[in-house]
A and B are shown apart, each in its own frame.
Chain A
Amino acid sequence: MKHTGPGWMIALLASMPAHAAEWTFQPPVTAIARDVGALHAWIMWIILAIFVLVFGVMFYAILRHRRSLGHEARHFHENTTVEILWTLIPLLILIGMAWPVAKVVLAQKDTRNPGLTIKVTGQQWLWQYDYLDHRVGFKSRLATPRTQINNYDGLPIQRSPRYLLEVDEPLVVPVDTKVRILTTSNDVIHSWGVPAFAVKQDAIPGYIRDTWFTATQTGTFRGQCVELCGRDHAFMPVVVKVVSKDEFSRWITQKQAEQQKVASDPNRVWTRAELMQHGEKVYKDNCASCHQENGKGLGPFPALTGSKIATGPITGHLAIVLKGKNAMPAWPSLSNEDIAAVVTYERNALGNKVGDELQPKAVAAARQ
């Protein structure tokens, strides 16, 4: 445009490679992402050519055919040949664009024969990852502390270099493996995307959608939720760690062992410390987004600290968690261990000191 003076342009061009992360696509790590980058470049060249041509003509007219230069208007109008040409030529250009694009669309949609399938569930405001072939699942939440985000006092803050793009537990996938992602959601629509993979798929409650990627290099790749999903939409990043196949199998085996341990014996009596420790994690994963980490609630979401339910009879507390009430959703999907731990945690932390505890066995009984 007109205001881009040459000096400014040169300075910008010179600084472009160094600042690529700020102004253009992330470096592609899948074949599709490379295709998308190439398509974009190809289309930008076409656009640039049309732009120069069409606006060259216009600015020539603006500079030369002006009254202040004494130019007389020629009252010509309508010319069928020209009009047919300027309809047909753009049409041909579009066909030239559409052909290579169609191939990429079909490739992008081809989710057959995956080497690994992962279910991604969006939830306000975190991602649940389930490795369906390995019976391993975990939640992935923003790791940037709130103290770096809330800056209402305007004081200078030292922010981590991966501010808002870091999670407590990233998705881990093997390199050179076709990973099929199934998306769905527990509440509102989210969208799971990793720009370096050219993958973006809405996670919609009631639907299972799929997409895929084959990462061709190891590393950590970052994206964000890209569909407005409420208050903390900005704070649910997607982090994918691509590792070697060996490293992946070591990791998944270790993960399986960890999760086996938790769910081993349904009749095992947990110690208070175990319940509290596990309960804190379950609480942060599932409850804190509404009731807040400190249990004080926010706006329409009631406080747990000192609440009648969290300090009243434990059976009532358990019933609310299992069955829900009004805006409070039911949580039967949580395991017996999770529910026992979180109920115990809510009654003995967050400012509450009821002193009792719940065992997984009791939860199992209550489910009957």
Chain B
Amino acid sequence: MTHEHPHGDHDTVRGWRRWLYATNHKDIGTLYLCFAGLMFFTGGIMALGIRLELFQPGLQYWQPEFYNQLVTLHGVIMVFGAIMPAFTGLANWMLPLMIGAPDMAFARMNNWSFWLLPPAALLLVISLFVPGGAAAAGWTFYPPLSLQDGMGMDFAIFAIHLLGISSIMGSINIVVTVLNMRAPGMTLLKMPLFAWTSLITAYLLIAVAPVLAGAVTMLLTDRHFDTHFFKAAGGGDPVLFQHIFWFFGHPEVYIMALPAFGIVSQIIPTFTRKPLFGYVSMVYATCAIGIMSFTVWAHHMFSVGMPATAQLFFMFMTMLIAVPTGVKVFNWIATMWEGSMSFETPMLFAIGFVCLFTVGGFSGLVLSIAPIDTQMHDTYYVVAHFHYVLVAGALFSLFGAVYYWLPKWTGYMYSEKLGKLHFWWSMIAFNITFFPMHFLGLAGMPRRIPDYALQFTDFNALATVGSMLFGLAQLLFVYNIVHCVRGGVGKASACPWDGANTLEWQVASPAPHHTWHEPPSEAIVRRGLVAQALENRHE
């Protein structure tokens, strides 16, 4: 596979220039992942700040204003700074490798879409120190509250603009790469599932990121240019914002969930040494979820008040999403059935994902029932629900992905012992943190409050202890990665997982700077496809 590629001296660029001028998908993928990791810890420290204040009733550490800022920034940073960039980073690193492409389609746009992120993150962090502090209206920025905030809100609006532009460019890159640069012989229905979920996610982002940008731009003009989009006093409509926001916001939920489905659909077949049970139905389920995600947004707004017919429509559509989601879970389990399973760290995280994401799915089903949602809306039940989906869902899948592909990235094996410890520690601490929140929500504790009534004390104390443990576990994760980059427990072979068949395992470990500058031969592609059972050779 050695080859004199035309842009020869890229490999020799060293130091900061390599990263600032990066056009190589692997370098950019690495940048994305490191950025996401940094943001994960920034947002995580804020989460611990929140939990610290909630350890006991009364105000011990923060003024309520600052508490609201922590809540807001934690949400924005985790959603836009940690999870989304992490998935884009994975797509950057792995998609070209998995579909046999030499790089992403638009290398320079790729560079720009990454380098928009650090200024956006900086705006968010700096906003903590401007007069009036950071945005304090929650990550949902509902006006008129968001119109009252100080200039921190403007910082957040601009940060969201930058993050949105970055996401759109990243998505365009993914769509074009997947649609145009697959190896010969790899038709759409023969792509690895991760490519499919990334593709659908990218389409969702292109559809909704501009909607969010529009919403926050209207906030901005309401704040400074005397427009009245959302100001009732001027004939505007505060509820309009919520419709626009959630028209973005609900697909956004799947933007953070679909790539996780893709990752888990790569990991489980590898460690069961079996092809995915129903590849085609998985693809259809992914598409169905993507489309349906546009028809459920108002289930976030049941307590706003809407006609009974609208309430019933959004309720039924929301319940219906359980069907394709269920199909996915059944498929994963059918894949495990009669397999030859082994439980390396990526597999543990994948199974943890299936278990806990399902719990999050169940609580989602409970919340979809409008009259029950009336009880649960804006309580800790909702907080529990979306952390099961986003932490045990998106984040656990990301942990799994990192362990799964770390040998390919670094050329070394990570410590399995530490990886397993990280898994079990995270799993237990996660449940100590978030399971009690279901009870708090049932008992009626509102979310986004710095202080609470006395009957909520015990579960809050428990959740705080759990969150501190969860935070500690992540230091283990960082240590394991650093340890692996520095040599880990030994060199990794090109394919360290004996059940893995996709194309990324055909190149050396660590993956050379340039891969697939000649597309993989059809024979190689076919061999992978046969092993994935995507070619006609049924048992």
Query: Does B9 sit within 8 A of A, measured CB to CB?
Result: no
User: Of all chain A residues, which has the CB nearest B429?
Assistant: A3
Contact B444 A26 (CB under 8 A): yes
- Whether B229 sits at the interface, judged by CB under 8 Å, is no
Which of A3, A23, A195, A209 is in CB contact (< 8 Å) with B439?
Answer: A23
Considering the chains assembled together, what is the distance between the CA atoms of A83 and B284 in angstroms? 12
With CB as the reference atom, state the residue of chain B lying closest to A229: B145
Q: Are B452 and A43 in contact (CB under 8 A)?
A: no
Interface stretch of the complex, out of B209-217, B250-258, B372-380: B372-380
Q: Which residue of A has the minimal Cβ distance to B449?
A: A234
By the criterion CB–CB under 8 Å, are B60 and A61 in contact? no
Q: Are A201 and B305 within 8 A (Cβ)?
A: yes
Determine how close the nearest CB of chain A comes to the CB of B436; give it in whole angstroms: 8
Kindly identify, within residues 101 to 154 of chain A, every residue whose CB is under 8 Å from any CB belonging to chain B: 101-102, 104-106, 108-109, 148-152, 154
| Interface 1/0 per residue, A227-243 and B, CB below 8 Å | 11111111100000000
**Residues of B122-165 whose CB lies within 8 A of A:** 132, 136-138, 142-145, 148, 150
Determine if B145 and A228 form an interchain contact, defined as CB atoms under 8 angstroms apart.
Answer: yes
**A295 vs B347: C-alpha distance when bound (angstroms):** 61
Q: Which of chain A's residues have a CB closer than 8 A to the CB of B453?
A: 162-165, 224
* A205 and B338 within 8 A (CB): no
Does residue A300 face the partner (Cβ distance < 8 Å to B)?
yes
Q: Which residues of A contact B338 (CB under 8 A)?
A: 61, 65, 71, 73-74, 76
CA distance A25 to B378 in the complex (A): 15
What distance in Å separates the Cβ of B445 from its nearest Cβ neighbour in chain A?
8
Q: Is the CB of A195 within 8 A of B375?
A: yes
* B333-354 interface (Cβ within 8 A of A): 333-334, 336-343, 351, 354
Contact partner of A105 (CB less than 8 A), chosen from B64, B145, B279, B370, is B370
Q: Is A21 an interface residue (CB 8 A)?
A: yes
Of chain B, the residue at the smallest CB distance from A151 is B58
> Complex formed: what's the CA distance from A71 to B340 in Å?
5
Kindly state whether residue B287 has any CB partner on chain A within 8 Å.
no
Q: Does B539 contact A94, Cβ atoms closer than 8 Å?
A: no
Q: Which residues of A contact B378 (CB under 8 A)?
A: 191, 200, 226-228
CB distance from B374 to the nearest CB of A (A): 5
Question: Which of A32, A61, A77, A231 sits near B275, CB closer than 8 Å?
Answer: A77
State A148–B56 Cα separation when bound (angstroms).
Answer: 13
Closest B residue by C-beta to A160: B454
> Is A66's beta carbon under 8 Å from chain B?
yes
Are A76's CB and B371's CB within 8 A?
no
In the complex, A225→B449 CA distance in Å? 10
Q: Is the CB of A61 within 8 A of B375?
A: no
Given A77-B277, A101-B315, A200-B377, A40 and B372 touching (CB < 8 A)? Answer: yes
Judge whether A68 is part of the interface by a CB distance below 8 angstroms.
Answer: yes
B150 with A75: CB separation less than 8 A: no
* A346 part of interface (Cβ distance < 8 Å): no
Report the stretch among A47-55, A172-180, A280-288, A302-310 that lies at the interface: A47-55
Q: Which of B142, B275, B369 has the most CB of A within 10 A?
A: B369
Map CB proximity to B onto A22-44 as digits: 1 under 8 Å, 0 otherwise. 11111000001001100110011
Give the contacts of A226-276 with B (CB-CB under 8 A): 226-235
Q: Are B59 and A152 in contact (CB under 8 A)?
A: yes
A233 to chain B, nearest CB (A): 6
Please give, as numbers and ranges, the residues of chain B lying within 8 Å of A223 by CB-CB distance: 444
A61 touches B341 (CB 8 A): yes
Q: Which residue of B lies closest to A91 (CB)?
A: B323
Bound form: Cα–Cα A113–B316 in Å: 29
A72 to B132, CA, bound (A): 63
Residues of A within 8 A of B136 (CB): 230
- In the complex, A331 has a CB within 8 A of chain B: no
Given contacts A151-B60, A231-B68, contact A86 B273 (CB under 8 A): no
A82 located at the interface, meaning its Cβ lies under 8 Å from any Cβ of chain B in the complex? yes
**Is A204 in the interface zone, CB < 8 Å from B?**
yes
Interface status of B366 (Cβ within 8 A of chain A): yes
Are A22 and B334 within 8 A (Cβ)?
A: no
Cross-chain contact A206 with B233 (CB below 8 angstroms): yes
**Quick check: is B119 within 8 A (CB to CB) of the other chain?**
no
Given A54-B330, A163-B453, A228-B138 contact (CB < 8 Å) = yes
Chain B residues in 8 Å Cβ range of A227: 142, 303, 378
Q: Which residues of B contact A39 (CB under 8 A)?
A: 369, 371-372
Task: Check B273–A67 contact: CB distance below 8 A.
Answer: yes
Is the CB of A168 closer than 8 A to any CB of chain B?
Answer: no
Q: How far is the CB of B64 from chain A (nearest CB, A)?
A: 5
Q: Does A364 lie at the interface of the complex (its beta carbon under 8 Å from any beta carbon of B)? A: no
Give Cα A154 to B60, complex, Å: 6
Task: Tell whether A328 is near chain B: CB-to-CB under 8 Å.
Answer: no
Q: Check: B471 CB closer than 8 A to any chain A CB.
A: no
Q: What string of 1s and 0s marks CB contacts (under 8 Å) between B35-49 and chain A?
A: 000000000000000
Q: Which of B239, B304, B354, B371 contacts A36 (CB 8 A)?
A: B371
Q: Is the CB of A65 within 8 A of B451?
A: no
Chain A min CB distance to B355 (Å):
7
B336 with A65: CB separation less than 8 A: yes
Contact (Cβ within 8 A) B303 A202: yes
CB distance from B215 to the nearest CB of A (A): 15
Q: When A21-B455, A22-B439, A26-B444 are in contact, do A47 and B304 touch as well, CB less than 8 Å?
A: no
- Bound-state Cα–Cα, A207 to B323, Å: 36
B435 and A1 contacting across the interface, CB-CB below 8 Å = yes
A42 CA to B255 CA in the complex, in Å? 31
B482 adjacent to chain A (CB < 8 Å)? no
- B138 A299 Cβ-Cβ under 8 A: no
Is there contact, CB below 8 Å, between B278 and A78?
yes
Tell me, yes or no, whether B362 is within 8 Å of chain A by CB: yes
Inside 8 A of A79's CB, which chain B residues have their CB?
278
Given contacts A23-B442, A24-B442, A35-B371, contact A47 B232 (CB under 8 A): no
Q: A1-B435, A21-B455, A202-B303 are in contact. Are A78 and B59 (CB under 8 A)?
A: no
Tell me if A161 is interfacial: C-beta within 8 Å of chain B: yes
Say yes or no: A25 contacts B238, CB within 8 Å.
no
Whole-angstrom distance between the alpha carbons of A335 and B443 in the complex? Answer: 40
Cβ contacts under 8 Å, A169 to chain B: none
Q: Please, which residue of chain A has its CB at the minimum distance from the CB of B436?
A: A23
Q: Is the CB of B355 within 8 A of A55?
A: yes
Q: Do B57 and A43 have beta carbons less than 8 Å apart?
A: no
Residue of A whose beta carbon sits closest to that of B274: A73
Tell whether A97 pairs with B369 under 8 Å between CB atoms, given A23-B443, A61-B341, A202-B305.
yes
By a CB distance below 8 angstroms, the chain A residues around B132 are: 299-300
A198 lies within 8 A of chain B by Cβ: yes
A350 in the interface, Cβ–Cβ < 8 Å?
Answer: no
Query: In the complex, which residues of chain B have a beta carbon less than 8 angstroms from the beta carbon of A188?
Result: 142-145, 148
Q: Is B276 an interface residue (CB 8 A)?
A: yes
Q: Which residues of B contact A300 (CB under 8 A)?
A: 132, 150
Residues from 311 to 367 in A contacting B, C-beta threshold 8 Å: none
A79 → chain B closest CB, angstroms = 8
Rounded to whole angstroms, the CA-CA distance of A75 and B58 in the bound complex is 59
Listed from nearest, the 6 A-B pairs whose CB atoms lie closest are A206-B232, A234-B449, A151-B58, A23-B439, A209-B305, A73-B340
A to B CB contacts below 8 Å, 7 in the list: A25-B442, A40-B366, A57-B337, A61-B339, A164-B451, A205-B144, A235-B451
Given contacts A77-B275, A90-B323, A226-B378, 17 further A-B contacts (CB under 8 A): A51-B358, A51-B362, A61-B339, A67-B340, A71-B340, A77-B279, A86-B326, A90-B322, A94-B320, A164-B57, A189-B144, A200-B378, A205-B144, A207-B305, A226-B379, A228-B378, A230-B148
